[in-house]
Amino acid sequence: MAEELALYRRWRPKRFSEVVGQDLVVATLKRAVAQGQLHHAYLFAGQRGIGKTTLARLLARAANCLAPEDGEPCNRCPNCTRILSGQSLDVVEIDGASHRGIDQVRQLREEVAFLPAGARYKVYIIDEVHMLTPEAFNALLKTLEEPPPHVLFLFATTEPHKVPPTVLSRCQAFWLQPIPEDLIAAKITEIAQAEGFALAPGAAEVLAQRSGGSLRDALVLLEQLGRTGPLTPERIEAYLGLPSRAQVDRFLDALVAKNADEALATVEELARRGQDLALFAEELLGRARDRAVAGEQEFLSLLGGLLALRTELPRSFSRRLRLELFVLEHCGLPKTPRRARAETASPASLPEAPKEDLSPAITAEPRAAISEEPGDNESNRGEAREVWEEVLRAAWEARADLGVFLAPAQWAYTDGILRVTLPPGFRYHYESLQEKEVRQALEEVARRFFDPLLAVEVGYAGNEGGGRLSLEEAARLLAEKLEGEIISLS
Ligand SMILES: [Zn+2]
């Protein structure tokens, strides 16, 4: 970790003018230094990595500098150089999060009475000040109530609401904002050039987006990835375990084009790679918003649905199923329902059915024995596919989830029995088709297409668990029985 921060340390601003994205705070501090009107205590609040301790250290130097230039520390005088090298006895840094911090605050009470050793101000920088114990706060408060004129307190905190109001009220507080992405990207580009890191187009922007306004996080990423190869948007996203921008865009474009096949294929791909679908939903919403704002009107209509999806997905029992349902709600049924199956189940590639074979709906003339099995002849298979498409469409209309559960299935109809088989990896779909209401709906739909229909058999081609329910499945069934809901599974 220390090594990964090397870049951040090397590029830590030495002058206020080098601080990125905190112009207002910087202007106020420089003015106070230049006019010799410093408060006794300052508090810098805000998220990590946006420059709180950097500002505190700059102010410690500027306040003690023998030749400040327009409020900036000169970094050359004895006071500046001593503080820069960490050798000044007059600048004490205390980590509020450590036990040592508490001792130091106690010690501080005795020390503050003494004049600085060589500088103008005795400066106490207390990082994560909200972590101080109540005793330490009390000790601090006593000195804050009647601060000697030669003492300067500089506090930093990520959680200002945990700082006692009695302390807050004695500070000039600055609420630092996350650093804007474009400023982070520009700084990243500048540093990468100076350090000789290969930065592909768009990489600085992706780093900036992913750093959440923290320049430190962006620089740590730059260093970690820059050492091992050229920085590309894809490498950064893969490193962070995020779906790629290309995947997100492909999915959104598919939604807009009402192309269920393409969207479901992306879901399949994400699930196969074990990617976090809740994170994907988060990315979808952010990206759709960006594209809508950028003037792509068609994305506006997606925002409401994506917002609901992002809220619901983390709580959904099967995130994949919820995402698939979302696709179907937006796009309707896929045109090629066999696709999901072909990818996960039998690798035997089946020839595409010739388009001219496609006849109108087969409902009027049910077949005695048809299936998608490879053993059948070519025209039979084309016809079979048409039948199944009709079945899926009817299933979707009867019950949206029935359509989802059936979409990846293989099927065969012989001797009056419809056999529906879920390929490996679709155990949840299989289990769901066993449920009474779903099962009834399936039989009702099947009866409209297959005559005679003596039975519908639902099978599962996977063998994991040997038929025993997984913890998830058992919990789900139990929750349903009790009409309850699953709070957590661990
Ligand atoms: Zn100086």
Would you give the distance in Å from CA 478 to the centre of its chain? 31
* Ligand 1 centre distance from Cα of residue 72 (Å): 8
pLDDT (0 to 100) of residue 458: 92
Helix, strand or coil, per DSSP, at residue 353: coil
* Ligand 1 centre distance from Cα of residue 6 (Å): 25
- Strands (E) in 35-150, as ranges, are 41-45, 91-95, 122-127
pLDDT (0 to 100) of residue 59: 97
Q: Which stretch of DSSP H or E encloses residue 459?
A: strand 455-460
* Ordered domains of the chain (ranges, CATH): 3-175 (3.40.50.300), 181-239 (1.10.8), 245-331 (1.20.272.10), 365-481 (no CATH)
Write down the H helix ranges in 227-358.
Answer: 233-239, 245-256, 260-272, 277-293, 300-312, 319-331, 338-344
Q: Please tell me what DSSP assigns to residue 175.
A: E
pLDDT (0 to 100) of residue 100: 62
pLDDT (0 to 100) of residue 381: 65
Residues of the chain with pLDDT under 70: 1-5, 99-102, 317, 336-382, 464-490
Work out the angle between the directed axes of helices 277-293 and 260-272 (0-180°, nearest 10).
140
**Predicted TM-score (pTM) above 0.95:** no
**Cβ neighbour number for residue 340 with a 10 Å cutoff:** 23
Four-point Cα dihedral 398, 426, 321, 353, nearest 10: -60
* pLDDT tens digits, one per residue of 325-334: 889 888 887 7
Helix, strand or coil, per DSSP, at residue 460: strand
Instruction: Tell me which residues have their CB within 5 A of the ion that is ligand 1.
Output: 65, 74, 77, 80
| One-letter identity of residue 485 | E
* pLDDT tens digits, one per residue of 45-94: 999 899 999 999 999 999 999 999 999 999 999 999 999 998 898 999 98
* Ligand 1 centre distance from Cα of residue 483 (Å): 71
* Ligand 1 centre distance from Cα of residue 81 (Å): 7
* Ligand 1 centre distance from Cα of residue 41 (Å): 21
Residue partners of 259: CB distance under 8 A and separation at least 6: 253, 331
* Ligand 1 centre distance from Cα of residue 15 (Å): 11
Contacts of residues 312-319 at CB distance under 8 Å and 24 or more positions apart, as own/partner, are: 313/277, 313/278, 313/281, 314/278, 317/472, 317/476, 317/486, 318/428, 319/277, 319/278
pLDDT (0 to 100) of residue 487: 55
